Amino acid sequence: MNSISQEHAYSKYILPVLIGAGATVTAIALDELKIQTALAVLGAVSFLVVLSFIASRKNLSSFAVILLALGIPFNIDVNLFYREYVGVTSLDIGLSLLSAIALFVLFFYEHYTSRGSGPAFRYNRTLLWAPILYMMSGLLSLYNATSNELAVLELVRLAMLFVIFFVVMNMRDRKLINTFIVTLSITVVLQTLIAYYQYKTGQVLGLGVLGERDLGTREVWYAGSRASGTIGHPNILAYYFEILIPFMFAMFLVEENRWLRLWYLIVTVAGLFGIMTTLSRGGWASVPVSMAVVFLTLIRHRLKGVRSIVGLFMISMLLLGIFFYLLPTIEKRLSFADYGSAATRAPLNRAAFSVIKQFPVSGVGLNNLAKVFKTYDTTGGSSLFRTSTHVVHNLFLAVWAETGTIGILTFVWMFVATMIVAIKTLFKSVPLWQQGILIGAVAGLLAQMIHGMVDPGFRILMNVSMLVYAMFGLVGAISVLNKFKNERPAIDSQYK
């Protein structure tokens, strides 16, 4: 099959299916919008469709990668089987998932038409099995689940996240990986601009189709409102920033192109201002640790002369200046009344432990804790909240209570396995840009783990869950790229 017939077959069969699926999601999402917003979204979608038709198959892969990254914070989606609940509330069929499926088809089609040797998809076994084992522990948790329906909802979501993770891991072209990272950097700046507006005005921009929610009177603070961007909640927006700030900082330290390096510095600074607008104490505490990990790990690669030392000194002074600029806000936030929010952490932790003791092996059921928390709590700590359903403000205790000891071990293993693979890959003397991706991803995941000690964590919403699994995937992509680099030596050579 020649290249022309291959492109014809692609446009005839694959592209219409992808456009049809995207149009269905968009149509449902537009149904409840104001006419002005609907027209704006329709205009953007029309532009993207026209662009897809004039693009080549190779460019369409980049196009799908861009949509995958954009769909993480700007989540145009359809919520199937929605119910009011604290936890996984629906099946979210969104832009990122559809883009990941499109990339899967594109990768397979490219391999099939090029008659390439070896498998169509490659993976790191350690990373591949980690989320699979966690899903298996979720299946085991059905044994004690009060609501199998709630457990199945999260199992399906985990399967969706696995697709995103697997596709990102199969980005074996540096161009695609860089496209994904640059697009994520753009979303950081956009989220900062939206968040800063919300923080200063206490109003929203009317971007409900992209995930923006009303700020609510409960979030009003002494200097404005706690910003939530298009993520939907201030703390979860903080998760988003705390993962990407150290990642962008790492890319700044390793990037060779001076203009792109300057851009990553701008993104890092923007992210710091963005996380400030969330007023999330957990986010504020995690970022200095993760950035220190990045700095201390990668600093040795930048000390190659007086010019580099002076540059790093100036950057350090810039970051220190930003810290002192934000210090008054930090001090007031830490001293401001939090309506007993911090005081509830310890009683809820004790309540979660009381549930864990009763269901130590397989837990109360995936996504079931909020439903049965008050029923199985023997300490009374869960009664601090008047709502009928509530979860513990600790990511790891929540997973432990829902999936038991087996589940928490497999959950933690996803993070530990990613760190192990990253460290092993680093010891192979990989190129500097790959080191930045590995260290940045690990530092971002570490920040979420730290914040997860005092908050429900990324599992609450699909947005940040996709970002976490994308970080798993990026580490896997670098691992795979090095494992099979002898098969495709031209990829790295053209970027030296």
The string of DSSP letters for 341-400 reads TGGGHHHHHHHHHHHHHHSTTT-S-TT-HHHHHHHH-SSSGGGGS-SS----S-HHHHHH
Residue 478 and residue 438 in contact, taking contact as beta carbons nearer than 8 Å = yes
Q: What is the pLDDT of residue 168?
A: 97
42 — pLDDT class (breaks 50, 70, 90):
low
Q: What is the spatial distance between Cα 114 and Cα 22, in angstroms, rounded to a whole number? A: 27
Q: What is the pLDDT of residues 131-188, one digit of tens each?
A: 999 999 999 999 999 999 999 999 999 999 999 999 999 998 889 999 999 999 999 9
Q: How many CB atoms lie within 10 A of CB 335?
A: 8
CA distances from 482 to 135, 172, 429, 431 (A): 28, 9, 10, 10
DSSP 279-306: T-HHHHHHHHHHHHHHHHHHGGGT-SSH
| pLDDT greater than 80 at residue 393 | yes
Q: What is the mean pLDDT of the chain?
A: 81
Beta bridge partners of 93: 78
Q: What is the pLDDT of residues 277-293, one digit of tens each?
A: 998 888 888 999 999 99
Q: How many CB atoms lie within 10 A of CB 454?
A: 20
Beta bridge partners of 437: none
Q: Which residues of 243-268 are buried (b: 16+ CB within 10 A; e: fewer)?
A: bbbbbbbbbbbbbeeeebbebbbebb
Q: Is 261 left (phi over 0), alpha (psi -120 to 50) or beta?
A: alpha
Q: How many residues does the chain have?
A: 496
Give the percent of the chain with pLDDT over 90: 43
311 — pLDDT class (breaks 50, 70, 90):
low
Residue 460 and residue 236 in contact, taking contact as beta carbons nearer than 8 Å = yes
Q: What is the pLDDT of residue 367?
A: 92
Q: In 202-305, which ranges are continuous DSSP H helix? A: 234-254, 258-278, 281-298
* Residue whose structure tokens are 């976490």: 468
Q: What is the pLDDT of residues 445-486, one digit of tens each?
A: 999 999 999 888 899 889 999 999 999 999 999 999 887 765
- Higher-confidence residue: 25 or 368? 368
Task: Give the containing element (helix H, strand E) for 410.
Answer: helix 395-426
| pLDDT greater than 90 at residue 86 | no
Q: Averaged over 203-224, what is the pLDDT?
A: 67
Q: Averaged over 102-113, what is the pLDDT?
A: 85
78 — pLDDT class (breaks 50, 70, 90):
confident
Q: What is the pLDDT of residue 416?
A: 97
Q: Averaged over 64-89, what is the pLDDT?
A: 84
| pLDDT greater than 60 at residue 341 | no
Q: What is the spatial distance between Cα 150 and Cα 171, in angstroms, rounded to a whole number? A: 33
Q: What is the spatial distance between Cα 216 and Cα 226, in angstroms, rounded to a whole number? A: 9
| pLDDT greater than 90 at residue 348 | no
Give the torsion through C-alpha atoms of 318, 320, 321, 326, to 10 deg: 130
Give the percent of the chain with pLDDT over 70: 74
Q: What is the pLDDT of residues 406-429, one digit of tens each?
A: 999 999 999 999 999 999 998 887
Q: Averaged over 237-265, what is the pLDDT?
A: 94
Q: What is the pLDDT of residue 36?
A: 43
DSSP assigned state of 14: I
